[in-house]
Amino acid sequence: MRAPGPESLLVIVPAFNEEAAVGDVVRAVHTYVPGVPVLVLDDCSLDNTVGAARAAGAEVLALPHHLGLGGCVQAGYKLAHELGFQYVIRVDGDGQHDARDIPRILETLKTSGCEMVIGSRFSEDNGSSTGLLRALGIRFFRMMLRPILGKPVHDPTSGFVGVNRKALEVFSRSFPLEYPEIETLVVLQRRRFRFEEVPCKMRKRTTGRSSITAAKSLYYMVHVLLGVFVNVLKYERRLRRGRQAEPPVPPGESTGRQTKAPVPPGEGVGG
């Protein structure tokens, strides 16, 4: 992969058994954001995902063991960080995300100064739809996240996500192993990082198989809920510890210190 420039972007594509779709995804990125390298993260696919990705002109990180989505995305973030990229945008390998939206996500990352920009199918009424179960889950997580994040998030399960180097630094050290999207929002918020949503159209999956089956939806909900609450509890504990360590303030004086304890490097998310 070529050495990145100062404004460099890497597109990462997590893929598990996406032989039928991944080639078109890579070609679309090359068409709409020419010159930007594409790294397909193959998680020990059983089909020819690796061959299809390479034939379309992508670099491939072929993992020797199946890590799951979070582990695989973290491997991509780690590599991007070590190679010195400034921005990374994740695009799914199943063809649901439209590469034409990538320039707007990148532009928002650059101009807003936000650490994360989410391609959201709901932040405007843009005609995107999703299954009933998924829609209910998204509604539930929106309500749950609102008080934690202090602002609404319309599409908390979107995998169409861009990050800047500050977020890359955190995520390359620590990232949820499974279903990372919702937990990463909580981690970002706890570090005073900001996110913004950009309206994007998302297509329905036309090939391959979704990793979120009906049976897995319940597991997903419980898993993500636990992950979020563990993060919140960890943070509250650190906050209390930080407060106890502070010397008493004489009446009428202000410390001028942060009111919240800083998060030590390497701490953040559980698996």
Ligand X SMILES: Nc1nc2c(ncn2[C@@H]2O[C@H](COP(=O)(O)OP(=O)(O)OP(=O)(O)O)[C@@H](O)[C@H]2O)c(=O)[nH]1
Closest to ligand X by CB, 16 vs 175, is 16
Residue with tokens 């999956």: 205
Binding flag, residue 158, Mg ion (CB under 5 A): no
Residues 13-72 that bind Mg ion (CB under 5 A): none
The Cα 222–Cα 48 span in angstroms is 33
Closest to ligand X by CB, 69 vs 261, is 69
Residues 89-108 that bind Mg ion (CB under 5 A): 92, 94, 96
Binding flag, residue 181, Mg ion (CB under 5 A): no
Whole-number minimum distance, CB 132 to ligand X, in Å? 13
- The entry of Mg ion, ligand X, none that residue 14 binds, CB within 5 to 8 Å by partner kind: ligand X
270, 227 Cβ separation under 8 angstroms: yes
The Cα 153–Cα 138 span in angstroms is 10
Whole-number minimum distance, CB 93 to Mg ion, in Å? 8
- Tokens encoding 202: 């998302």
Whole-number minimum distance, CB 95 to Mg ion, in Å? 8
Residue 131 to residues 5, 96, 205, 213, Cα–Cα distance (Å): 41, 14, 11, 11
Binding residues vs ligand X (CB under 6 A):
14-16, 18, 41, 43, 68-69, 72, 92-94, 96, 159, 205, 210-212
Whole-number minimum distance, CB 214 to Mg ion, in Å? 15
Site size toward Mg ion (CB under 5 A) is: 3
Spatial CA neighbour of 115 closest among 166, 174, 186, 170: 166
Q: List the alpha helices (DSSP H) in 33-97.
A: 49-55, 69-83
Closest to ligand X by CB, 133 vs 249, is 133
Whole-number minimum distance, CB 159 to Mg ion, in Å? 7
Burial of 63 (0-12, 13-18, 19+ CB in 10 A): middle
| List of residues contacting Mg ion (CB under 5 A) | 92, 94, 96
